[in-house]
Amino acid sequence: MASITNSKHSEVNGDCVYTPPNMPSNKVTVVLGAQWGDEGKGKVVDLLALNSDIVCRCQGGNNAGHTVVVDGKEFDFHLLPSGIINQKCTSVIGNGVVIHLPGLFEELKKNELKGMEGWQDRLIISDRAHLVFDIHQQVDGLQEAEKGKNSLGTTKKGIGPTYSSKATRNGIRIGDLLGDFNMFEEKFRTLAETYKRMFPSLEVDIEGELIKYKEYADKIRPLVRDTVTYLHKEISSGRKVLVEGANAAMLDIDFGTYPYVTSSNCSIGGVCTGLGLPPKLIGEVLGVVKAYTTRVGDGPFPTELHDETGRLLQDRGHEYGVTTKRLRRCGWLDLVVVKYTATVNGYTSLCLTKLDILDSLEEIKVGVAYKLNGKKIDYFPSSMPELSSVEVEYITVPGWTCSTAAIRELKHLPSQAHHYVNIIQEYLQIPVKYIGVGQGRESVINVA
């Protein structure tokens, strides 16, 4: 029998009990959106990246958009982790992300022009990440057109078709592009022919695409590695890792308002599968909650406002999509939604963003319960007709009717704003750790 070396054991009642090696004490910190996205995760990640060594994206593609303001300059990220602005921080695009290479290089160029420097030395891309091709984006648009009035309001960035290719196992990964190019070519031709049979009107310049991707292979090769091995080695050596979730829990393919969702798991499970990290390595899970609620695209939205207040939130909050430029639908804070996503994600703390957008309101409502057929329900409906039929029970609290934009300490918040924050903490039984009152990283109140 082979002997076991370098393990620990102890005798208990004469039995040999194996004790596993010590786990790293530096658990991974995760930032997740707690509503329908656009909560301000990018700013939170940018702030936390100042004390992190590595920042990772674990799922989604360039359908997500995070805005980070540094020294008055506005950077827009779609595929890049928001922490890439920090020159002391390595950025990782994990295996669960789907990557449109033309979009990635365009994003890098745009942010370089705004002053982002040295990214070549601190960007790592997983060899297991799947590629989004222009053909996927065309198919996305054609599928939406076919649905007509039942369209889902996708970003048409090809995300759904790419994850579909991944699931049906005719997807193409970064590693395929960097391997034998003849095999890559064969896979690409097969993929294109498959889609052309499904959509006869589809036009694909296969030869032109192959020429482009030969060039992309050379450009991206220095950035690619096995990120699973890399991350585990770095964590074992004591490096601090931060994970930036894209999209948000209510857009999760399993737990969101299906089918009005994205095509990936943007809840806590996506962190494990999208980076190859086991649950035991996850420590703090920070849920990012906007002080009101917004969503882009179609689907039920119980607390949506169609009145002057809704328009005020749109105007004051500059509520339009970073990726699509579509106007966001706005409504009151829905704590039923946040409680549900907290159940799924296990938030250890919260960051409440855009509190300052509520500054001018004399009264503020908060959704605290759902009723169906006049009776309170204790679950979040999975059926969209049912969710569309709920009646929201609100509590009304006084506003503070003064500016909070310059406040940097909790003690200086107006008492009514304190009360609003306390309602959220008490209802969810989760502490609010950060409060955002403006765009820049300096506009965050550290409650802890």
* C-beta separation of 255 from 17 below 8 A: no
Give residue 16's pLDDT.
53
Q: Which of 12-21, 105-114, 162-171, 245-254 has the lowest mean pLDDT?
A: 12-21
How far is Cα 344 from Cα 338, in angstroms, rounded to an integer? 10
Q: Which amino acid is at 205?
A: D
The model's pLDDT over 279-288, given as tens digits with 9 standing for 90+, comes to 999 999 999 9
pLDDT at 14 over 60: no
Give 349's contacts (C-beta < 8 A, 6+ positions apart). 284, 286, 287, 430, 431, 432, 433
Give residue 4's pLDDT.
38
Q: Which amino acid is at 298?
A: D
Mark the binding-site residues for IMP, compressed into ranges: 38-41, 63-66, 155, 169, 247, 262, 326
Reply yes or no on whether 66 is catalytic.
yes
Task: Give the residue extent of every domain in the chain.
Answer: 28-127+224-279, 131-220, 288-431
Fold for domain 131-220?
Adenylosuccinate Synthetase, subunit A; domain 2 (1.10.300)
Output the pTM of the full model.
0.90
> Domain 288-431 classified CATH 3.90.170.10?
yes
How far is Cα 95 from Cα 108, in angstroms, rounded to an integer? 19
Q: Please indicate whether residue 400 or residue 148 has the higher confidence score (pLDDT).
A: 400
How far is Cα 255 from Cα 249, in angstroms, rounded to an integer? 7
Query: Roughly how many angstroms between the first and final C-alpha of the chain, as a whole number?
Result: 54
pLDDT at 146 over 50: yes
Give residue 145's pLDDT.
78
pLDDT at 18 over 70: no
* C-beta separation of 72 from 65 below 8 A: no
How far is Cα 437 from Cα 407, in angstroms, rounded to an integer? 7
Give 390's contacts (C-beta < 8 A, 6+ positions apart). 302, 370, 371, 372, 377, 381
Give residue 143's pLDDT.
85
Reply yes or no on whether 290 is catalytic.
no
Query: Sorting pLDDT into bands at 50, 70 and 90, what band is 264?
Result: very high
**Percentage of the chain modeled with pLDDT above 70:** 92
Mark the binding-site residues, compressed into ranges: 37-43, 63-67, 155, 169, 247, 262, 322-328, 354-356, 436-438
Q: Please indicate whether residue 153 or residue 307 has the higher confidence score (pLDDT).
A: 307
Mark the binding-site residues for GTP, compressed into ranges: 37-43, 65-67, 328, 354-356, 436-438
pLDDT at 93 over 80: yes
* C-beta separation of 343 from 287 below 8 A: no
Query: Sorting pLDDT into bands at 50, 70 and 90, what band is 65?
Result: confident
Give residue 19's pLDDT.
45
* C-beta separation of 42 from 82 below 8 A: yes
DSSP assignments along 25-58, one per residue: SSPEEEEEESSSS-SSHHHHHHHHHTT-SEEEE-
Reply yes or no on whether 121 is catalytic.
no
Work out whether strand 73-77 and strand 66-70 pair parallel, antiparallel, or are unpaired: antiparallel
The overall average pLDDT reported for the chain is 91
Of these residues, 156, 166, 240, 433, which one is catalytic? 166
Of these residues, 66, 130, 156, 240, which one is catalytic? 66
The model's pLDDT over 199-257, given as tens digits with 9 standing for 90+, comes to 998 989 999 999 999 999 999 999 999 999 999 999 999 999 999 999 999 999 999 99
312 three-class SS: helix
* C-beta separation of 177 from 184 below 8 A: yes
Mark the binding-site residues for Mg(2+), compressed into ranges: 38, 65
How far is Cα 67 from Cα 438, in angstroms, rounded to an integer? 12
Query: Sorting pLDDT into bands at 50, 70 and 90, what band is 383?
Result: very high
The model's pLDDT over 324-379, given as tens digits with 9 standing for 90+, comes to 677 999 999 999 999 999 999 999 999 999 999 999 999 999 999 999 999 999 99
Nearest to 274 by CA among 263, 284, 283: 263
Please give the CATH number for the structural domain made up of 28-127+224-279: 3.40.440.10
